Amino acid sequence: MILRRYIGTKAFYKSVLSLLIPIVIQQFISSFVSLLDNVMVGSLGTEAISAASIANSVLMVHMLAIFGGLSGASIFGAQFFGKGDMDGMRNTFRFKLYFGVLCSAAAILVYLFFGNGFLSSFLQGESNGGDLDLTLSLSNGYLRVMLWGLIPFALAQVYTGTLREAGETRAPMIAGIIAILTNLFLNWVLIYGHLGAPALGVEGAAIATVISRYVELLVVVTHSHRHTDRYPFLMNAYRSFRVPAGLVGRITRTGLPLLVNEILWSLGMTFINQFYSSRGLNAVAALNISGTAWNLFCVIMFAMGSAVSIMVGQRLGAGKMEEARDVDRKLIFLTEVLHIIIGLLMILCSPLIPLLYNIGPEVRDLTRRLLIIAGLSLPIHSFAHVTYFTIRSGGRTVITFFFDAVYTWAVTVVLAFCLTRFTNLDILQIYFCVQFVDVIKLVVGLFMLRSDFWARNVVNE
């Protein structure tokens, strides 16, 4: 029966759930609190929510550069663990530490010198009755505070990613939840000025986020080094900072396309948002709200990417190629079924989400329509997402670079630029075209998955 190729056994789904549930819980709480954070900032007005949105669009480049750089190393981490090579994992961990600190330090310098120029480029459209100068001032203040959190963010990703490669998802979940609740409480205190604190508005939200990142780092580091019996690759991890040159070269060759991919992809998304902003401040605010809601509805999609990386990567590292292909096929099928349902749920919730914000009727209606378009396109994006992680799990990072970053710039960015600069289409029509152009990516992904070229063991090469 053909469905047996796509539907797993009860034991299979049990193993998927044991891995997935902690990641989903952490990401759901993170996205939900991000939504509440957004609502709190949004209560201060259109300028405030637009300011935070613009600053976060600029900061996204650093965040995704960290994810991209660590992703190359994580391919080796998952396969070293599947092979049982703890020395290999320890050296991979050290490599990630170097990368996280250096990348964050470089980002801080770039944002300090060029941040204002980046932010002001988003405020070239119509004001729609808002104050563009106030929005820029608030955005600058938010960005300056957030720079203090770049290094702890990177180090926390090094630890949580390494634990997940070893199949440990509960500890990162707990650390993430503690950080998220800290962020939420401090938002309430610092944005509005409760418990005797000054009302800092948008900057208060940034301070709360930075403190929560230090809290997450403290929790995950303490847990990891108190349980080196469970994580032997962390034993004596800081006794030496040497990483074998051969491994550095292999990780760099594999990881560099991922790093460049994430930087170019995030820059592409930043440019697309900047193009959208030419349709006015209302469009910036509505896209911020719909984007925050999108992240909430995509938590399972993001978690399925992690599941593919871990479950498929470990089997490839152990040399179980056919089992890796079978697991991957069933994970992709599960992802698509779930996201057809989640997309419909997003559409049903589209009239309710804008009601959480202190926004005018135009922004509210625009947000509702953007959410409907996003819900309809969700199954397309979920397929592209797990396809990307499938190809990446086997170290085919040059292919993922073309599949993701090159496609984004050659197709999506060009389309957004042309539609915003050379047509009179409104933001809804432009957003629809940009969201659904990934149908091309879906077709390309199907051909690549059927070829099975991605299934290889990188640690033994």
Question: Tell me: the pLDDT tens digits for 331-380?
Answer: 888 899 999 999 999 999 999 988 887 777 888 899 999 999 999 999 99
Are 70 and 101 in contact, with CB atoms under 8 Å apart?
A: no
More confident call, 402 vs 69: 402
Tokens of 127: 């004001």
Q: What is the pLDDT of residue 28?
A: 74
| Mean pLDDT taken over the chain | 83
Per-residue DSSP letter, 229: T
Q: How sure is the predictor about 457, in pLDDT bands with cuts at 50, 70 and 90?
A: low
Instruction: Establish if 458 belongs to a structural domain.
Output: no
pLDDT for the residue 173: 83
Question: pLDDT: is 324 or 151 the higher one?
Answer: 151
Residues 42, 311: Cα–Cα separation, whole Å: 40
**Of 455, 190, 446, nearest in space to 308 by CA:** 455
Per-residue pLDDT, 121: 75
For residue 1, tell me if it sits in a domain: no
* Domain hosting residue 152, numbered range: 8-451
Question: Tell me, what's the pLDDT at 190?
Answer: 92
Helix (H) or strand (E) holding 25: helix 10-42
The band of 138, judged by pLDDT with boundaries at 50, 70 and 90, is confident
pLDDT one-digit tens code per residue, 39-73:
777 677 767 777 777 787 778 778 878 877 787 78
107 within 8 A of 149, measured Cβ to Cβ: no
Helix axes 281-297, 299-307, angle to 10 degrees: 50
Q: What one-letter code names the amino acid at 404? A: D
CA dihedral 62, 309, 405, 257 (to 10 degrees): 80
CB contact set of 49 (below 8 Å; sequence gap of 6+): 38, 41, 42, 285, 288, 289, 357, 359
Q: What pLDDT, on the 0 to 100 scale, is given for residue 128?
A: 52
Which DSSP string corresponds to 81-144? HHHT-HHHHHHHHHHHHHHHHHHHHHHHHHHHHHHHHHHHTT--S--TTS-HHHHHHHHHHHHH
Q: Is 246 part of a structural domain of the chain?
A: yes
Residue 136's pLDDT is what? Answer: 81
Between residues 411 and 326, the one the model is more confident about: 411
**For the chain, what is the total number of helices (H) and then of strands (E)?**
18, 0
Position 261 scores a pLDDT of: 79
Give the residue with greater pLDDT, 245 vs 100: 100
C-alpha torsion 441→443→446→452, nearest 10: -70
Rg (CA), the chain: 22
pLDDT score recorded for residue 455: 62
Nearest in space to 457 (alpha carbons), one of 322, 345, 336, 333: 322
* CA pair distance 430, 395, nearest whole angstrom: 35
Query: Residue 204: what residue type?
Result: G
Q: pLDDT at position 393, please?
A: 76
Confidence of residue 437 (pLDDT cuts 50, 70, 90): very high
* Structure tokens, 376: 């309809």
Question: Can you spell out the DSSP letters for 357-424?
Answer: S---HHHHHHHHHHHHHHHHHHHHHHHHHHHHHHHHHTT-HHHHHIIIIIHIIIIIIHHHHHHHHH--
287-302 pLDDT tens trace: 888 888 888 888 888 8
Residue 91 confidence (pLDDT): 83
* CA distance linking residue 333 with residue 77, whole number of Å: 26
N-to-C CA span, the chain: 37
321-349 helix and 10-42 helix, angle to the nearest 10 degrees? 40
Domains in the chain, number = 1
Q: What is the identity of the amino acid at 410?
A: A
Cα distances from 266 to residues 248, 258, 345, 354, 405, in angstroms, run 25, 12, 27, 26, 9
The one-letter amino acid at 343: G
Measured between alpha carbons, how far is 394 from 389 in angstroms, rounded to an integer? 9
Q: What is the pLDDT of residue 21?
A: 80
Residue 329 has pLDDT above 80, yes or no: yes
107: in domain: yes
pLDDT the model gives residue 418: 94
Residue among 285, 303, 254 at smallest CA distance from 401:
254
**Which amino acid is located at 186 in the chain?**
L
Confidence band for 125, pLDDT divided at 50, 70 and 90: low
233, two tokens: 């690759």
How far apart CA 174 and CA 219 sit, in angstroms, is 8
Q: What's the rounded Cα separation, in Å, for the pair 69 and 265?
A: 13
Model pLDDT for residues 172-216, shown as the tens digit of each residue:
888 888 988 898 899 889 988 888 888 888 889 889 989 999 999
**435: confidence class by pLDDT, cuts 50, 70, 90:** very high
C-alpha to C-alpha distances, 331 to 7, 245, 289, nearest whole angstrom: 9, 35, 30
Asked if residue 250 is part of any domain, the answer here is: yes
Entry field: residues in the chain: 461
The amino acid sitting at 76 is: F
Domain assignment present for residue 215? The answer is: yes
Name the strand (E) or helix (H) holding 428: helix 427-436
> Taking 60 as the threshold, does the pLDDT of residue 316 lie above it?
yes
Residue 341 lies in a domain: yes
Domain assignment present for 174:
yes
Average of pLDDT values for 162-166? 84
